[in-house]
Amino acid sequence: MKPARPTCLAVLIALAAPCLAEEPTPARFADPPRSTRILKIIHNWPDRDADQDALIARLKGQGFGGVVSNVAFDGYLESEPKWAAFRRGVAQAREAGFTQWLYDEKGYPSANAGGLVLRGRPEWEASGLLIADARSEGPAVALASPPGDLYLAAAFPERDGLIDLAGRVDLSDVVREGRLKWTPPASPKAWRVLLVTRSRLFQGTHADNNVFSHIPYPNLLMAEPIERFVELTHQAYAARLGPELPRTFQATFTDEPSLMSYFLKPMPYRVLPWSPTFADEFQKRRGYDPTPIVPALVLDAGPEGARRRRDFWRTVAELVSENYFGRLQAWGRARGVPSGGHLLLEEPLASHVPNYGDMLACLRRMDAPGIDCLTSLPGQAPWFVARLAASAAELEGRELVMSETSDFVQRHRAEGDKRPRRIVTEAEIRGTINRLALGGVNCITSYYSFEGLDDDALRRLNAHVGRLGMMIRGGSQVADVAVVYPIESLWGRFEPSRHTTNDAPAAERIEALYRRTLDSLFEARRDPTIVDARALAEAKVEGDSLVHGRLRWRVVVLPGVDALPAAAWANLDRFAAAGGVVVTIGDRPRFDSSAQPDDAVVAAIAARLFGTEAAADSGPRTTSNASGGGGVFLPDGSAGLLPAAIDAVLAPDVAAAPRSPLRQTHRRIDAHDVYLIANDSDRPVADSISLPLPPGAAVESWDPATGEVRSITVAPQNAVPVALEPYGAVLVRVASVAPRARRPLVAGGLPTVRVSPLSLPEPTVGRGEFVRETVEKADGSWTFRGLVTRSNVDVHLFAAFRLPGPLDLSATEGLAVDAAVPPDQRTSTRMLVIVRTDDGGEYLASTSRSLAAPGADRTFVPWSSFEHAPWSKAGSSDLNPARVAGLSIGWGGYFGTEGETVSFRLNGVGSVTIGSGSGPPSTIR
């Protein structure tokens, strides 16, 4: 860890303090330290001394470990009485042994200092390019200008779906009184028209659409407003607390800063982030003027346009991570207080681009990265987001990973929302926190209401959380699989949108592949590290492993990844040549995203890893080399086959029964291997797991519910018995484990997949109110078209099949759906599958099959990907494939545009079995 400037030894020790954890003992486990228990968020310390003391005593009696706090919002940063109350409150909490985090804003989003940053400096406000656009094949074009100053008015000829930047026609002279009117020439046939303005960003953004306050927001692409924010907030705390600052606070807490170039409600124009200094910064970093490339950021200009998009978003990412997260990190390191907090909209991957450029790069500039978990229904808790933040910490050698955790989604109801509040149970809170811990979270800050829970329940929860945190802090993750964060590929495909990322279907396709990859690994008890191009380039090849610090990976997965820097591609090539396995899903290596790209080198690497690209064979396939390594290619719809493909070459770390709800994470801490095994279901589990134990290994069970530590008798085949209550967990500790067995990759060696066609009756159609459907049947296939009749409303269209009697599909792995999408369809939605059981339960799976990806494909939908549908009132929490009574296939949850048609052709549905042998690709398609 390198401080931002020379510091004294005391500050260095304070900054390293979280890493100096004591060795776990049964006594400490029974009564875990306060530093690992839940930290209660309190934004306003009481003014009266007696009320402060009562609050601290109550929280201590309920078992909480500490607090997250700030100077009161009333008179924020400017009221001396409030400063006095804050200083006393945190001092008394410190004397009580509380662990504390320092919250850095008046509510959220951080960077505003309650509006003080922009006081007298309106030029620092968040700004962007607002874009109105149209396509014409002859008729006159009329566009209303977005707010702001005119930046660009131009038309571009379109050929084969791509704009010709060199054919630009300037239209500045036809913009009058806020409108552009232009009639395109007869040749070429199609034209794209852009009307772009520079404007402040507020309406429709997070600054305008949060539940705290609606005020203008600073521009994170600029250094000056962030320096002012630090001066007003962080420096004020340092001035008042002096040397007590690092003694008092474990970390700072920044809350949902962002670029504001993402619309949370439908707007009539698209948005890109911008600033008064952006063009100069871009010129310095990329070596050319960004002004001429703006049209390529909006419209498809082919491979060269995609390269310019990558340059643009890389610059955005650098500026945000340096100006905001880098400044907070440098300030904290100079004073011995790690920088922490969480970002905005962590779950949807495509949103990472407009909000930050690169969320993982920002997380890597935090010394205590965190996430926001707004739900306390365990099945909805974002394990994959926790793993992203924890991976940032792993790659940087950090220890603390935080989650701001609450039941907000269950309690909050916007005006007009008549749904009753959902009171979460103690077990559901425990299950939510277990899931976050499986993702690597080891510090819980809380906005929980804890409604309906008495002090005994709170003490149980705090002890449970404290024991988990105590056992999984420190050391390093043990993971055989690395999943690449596909940000460079997203940059090349991202298109600015009028609402969320709805106008970026190609980017949302990558998001679907990424999510399916992570979900399938989680369900298969494969706990990956999420890595970026920088980590790939820095890693070293050792044996058949790719090594980064204390992390070692034997399989690297590329979900939708076609662009990486040359150094990353070269390392993957060396890794495979040495016996490693590279799995690509949906895309092959194509682009070198380095400053001086050489796509021909990438094409050669792709040929070595995955063979030559053959249009006639787009099915799953393997390519092996003499070292037993090589590549595995899985098309979009086959992402669910990833666990089977990995199982063919690498034994799992933790094995359990098929469709078991047990999940795991594994850490090496000091001289022990520690496994967290959690029951991710609302039913009890009595099962066993198999671990890679050496002969005679002494195995211990550490129970976070009771604090009990006991020895475990291991059965044959290294079977460890596990009996857990609903949403229960256990920690298994052993001195060491054996390396996982590794089998050589064999060409064509994917497990044999057999599809047995299902006999389906004639379908009925389920559609939304604002969809008009047509259905055509030909040659045994059905084509379903849905015409959207109103913009910006939630619409859906499903083909529903009611089976004549229930099917027992329990001996199968899932469903295979053969479907085709027409060319030139641009929709951000993807294929959904609903299974109905004979007890009335309905179960929903969102597949990786994008309805913007043209052509025919087979989509594998494993049973493990189905979740109890949120609208279903019947059935158990988990799908029982022995009781399948009906299927629905289609799309939904889509906010489309009036006049838009979304269609697909359904060619057949089958059940899938996966054998233990291997076969050529023809057995899968």
- Reported as a pLDDT band with limits 50, 70 and 90, residue 3 is very low
CB 540 within 8 A of CB 387: no
Using one digit for the tens of pLDDT, what is the confidence trace for 269-288? 999 999 999 999 999 999 99
CB 592 within 8 A of CB 566: yes
pLDDT surpasses 60 at 786: yes
C-alpha span between 40 and 446 (Å, rounded) = 5
Strand order across the beta sheet in which 540-542 lies: 540-542, 545-548, 551-553
pLDDT surpasses 80 at 6: no
Encoded tokens for 902 = 């979304």
- Reported as a pLDDT band with limits 50, 70 and 90, residue 12 is very low
The residue that leads in pLDDT, 897 or 457, is 457
Percentage of the chain beyond pLDDT 70 is 96
* pLDDT, position 7: 38
CB 814 within 8 A of CB 754: no
- Reported as a pLDDT band with limits 50, 70 and 90, residue 19 is very low
Q: φ and ψ at 283, to 5 degrees?
A: -60, -45
CB 592 within 8 A of CB 601: yes
pLDDT surpasses 60 at 617: no
Using one digit for the tens of pLDDT, what is the confidence trace for 547-568? 999 999 999 999 999 999 999 9
pLDDT surpasses 80 at 618: no
Q: How many CB atoms lie within 10 A of CB 465?
A: 30
Find the mean pLDDT for residues 11-20.
41
C-alpha span between 835 and 222 (Å, rounded) = 50
CA distance readout (Å), 572 to 209, 299, 743: 43, 32, 19
C-alpha span between 911 and 833 (Å, rounded) = 13
**Strand, coil or helix: 246:** helix
In the chain, the amino acid numbered 716 is P
C-alpha span between 157 and 231 (Å, rounded) = 50
pLDDT surpasses 80 at 915: no
* pLDDT, position 808: 94
* 863-897 residues labelled b (16+ CB within 10 A) or e (exposed): bbbbbbbeebeebeebbbbebbbbbbbbbbebbbe
Using one digit for the tens of pLDDT, what is the confidence trace for 430-465? 999 999 999 999 999 999 999 999 999 999 999 999
Find the mean pLDDT for residues 291-301.
96
Return the closest-CA partner of residue 223 out of 358, 310, 318, 335.
Answer: 318
Compute and round to an integer the Cα radius of gyration of the chain: 28
Helices (H), 785-886: none
* pLDDT, position 925: 32
The one-character DSSP state at 189 is: S
Q: φ and ψ at 728, to 5 degrees?
A: -90, 170
**Strand, coil or helix: 419:** coil
pTM for the structure as a whole: 0.93
* pLDDT, position 354: 98
**Strand, coil or helix: 375:** coil
Tell me which H or E stretch contains 332. helix 327-335
- Reported as a pLDDT band with limits 50, 70 and 90, residue 658 is confident
C-alpha span between 469 and 463 (Å, rounded) = 10
Tell me which H or E stretch contains 564. strand 563-564
Tell me which H or E stretch contains 191. strand 190-200
Using one digit for the tens of pLDDT, what is the confidence trace for 193-229? 999 999 999 999 999 998 888 999 999 999 999 999 9
* pLDDT, position 654: 95
* pLDDT, position 21: 52
Q: What share of the chain is helix, strand, coil (3-state, %, to 5)?
A: 30, 30, 40
C-alpha span between 773 and 187 (Å, rounded) = 35
Q: φ and ψ at 239, to 5 degrees?
A: -65, -35
Encoded tokens for 469 = 């945190």
Using one digit for the tens of pLDDT, what is the confidence trace for 831-844? 999 999 999 999 99
Cβ-based neighbours of 284, under 8 Å, separated by 6 or more? none
C-alpha span between 140 and 152 (Å, rounded) = 19
* pLDDT, position 640: 86
C-alpha span between 866 and 871 (Å, rounded) = 14
In the chain, the amino acid numbered 492 is G
The residue that leads in pLDDT, 781 or 741, is 781
CB 919 within 8 A of CB 803: no
Measured in Å, how far apart are the chain's first and last C-alpha atoms? 51
In the chain, the amino acid numbered 876 is S
C-alpha span between 925 and 907 (Å, rounded) = 13
Find the mean pLDDT for residues 636-665.
92
Torsion of CA 722, 724, 727, 728, to 10 degrees: -90
CB 742 within 8 A of CB 554: yes
CB 272 within 8 A of CB 221: no
pLDDT surpasses 90 at 638: no
C-alpha span between 271 and 511 (Å, rounded) = 20
